Chain A
């Protein structure tokens, strides 16, 4: 057995290399170091998150930015608390909303983060992290409507069943029979119309012959006379128009100038009649006033100046 002197340098190198490999293994196989560069957020939802599990990716505009760290059911037994770790350089406190994305046909889900203005994450003291609001995914929205749609389809099917019930079938039969009868009647009517048309043609031909036999000269004379009459009527109408215009002018003159004058004259007459009444009264009281200049002597006071 050969016992040599141990090479401490080599041993030291191996130990250092071993520790390095151990650290590298821990770094690459666990998230111990990585987690230090991540921010923790929570996403709360009451919808099902089937296909989502711890480790599912968190995508921002389709890019992996983190992963689901934990999924818990809250105390109210309805809300799911999804804890996500997202890269530190990404600020998700404002204008960001989460939804459940489905990756292809595998059925695996991921958290999809999108920008949406007006949305704001709130800080939860119990969770000690920001909670990003979550909206139902399109699939979830559709699945919400599915019961309603199924209900409507059921109603439709019931209605169709009612429509094709035996009771209605009899009615349809009667209706079709009536339509058949109507079509038959229409056919006979068309045949009758054809014969009527041929009769009409015959009458028209006879009428044409009669017209041809009529004396065109007489008709022309009559038309000429009517034309003359119409001309005379035209002239008369024009004269009437002129007369009406002059009448209107006269009436305007009457309204604008003569009537006010008449009114004024009437007012004057009224005034005069009033004065006349006073005069008559005076004459009645003093009948001799016309004939005696001074029926009595002035009172001496009247003469005083």
Chain B
């Protein structure tokens, strides 16, 4: 009888241990879209291992942590790639273009000074390859914010991504022009 009770209680305990409370998925949708005559193949979006997770990172008191109740729909790389594909419709996922884009994200997290304010940080490097020639550009976003709730924070993240998208679009356009000019020379 004792053994039976022990087994039953163990089963109850173990089932409790594996139950994890679901986090709220935060979808970030682009508000602006850009066009381009040339198609560009987006080959890779990468980031440090601690960022490439569906957990949303933040910095508080010089420590990197993850929000306990909110997460991205997929890993950060996947989320940013999907965002860019939607905002820049000329980006393609198949290598059908001579122009190949890859992005490395160094930082993408809010750095809180108080519980409701801080700085939004987004640092990335763009690489555009065309026939063994590269064009590289860095993007640094560091802007103060003050929000009332979590949706405000998501909006700030969206603003940061929107700024990056705009910069990326300009970079691609000018890089293609330079590639063409160097070809003509």
Contacts and interface: CB of A to CB of B under 8 A. Distances in A.
B54 A302 contact: no
A93 to B, nearest CB: 78
A290 B18 contact: yes
A8 interface: no
B33 interface: no
B75 A278 contact: yes
A286 interface: yes
B166 interface: no
B68 A296 contact: yes
A301 B20 CA distance: 21
Contact of A293 (B20, B67, B69): B20
Chain A interface residue number, banded:
20 to 34
Contacts of A282: 53-54
B94 interface: no
Contacts of A293: 19-21
B11 interface: no
B131 interface: no
B68 A297 contact: yes
B148 interface: yes
A261 B20 CA distance: 35
Contacts of B7: none
Interface in B26-64: 49-50, 53-55, 58, 60
Contacts of B50: 285
A278 B54 CA distance: 10
Contact of A285 (B17, B19, B49, B116): B49
A296 B18 contact: no
A298 B69 contact: yes
Interface string A264-305: 000000000000001001100110011101111111111011
A289 B23 CA distance: 13
B66 A296 contact: yes
Nearest to B68: A298
Interface of B: 17-21, 49-50, 53-55, 58, 60, 65-70, 74-75, 112, 115-116, 147-150, 153
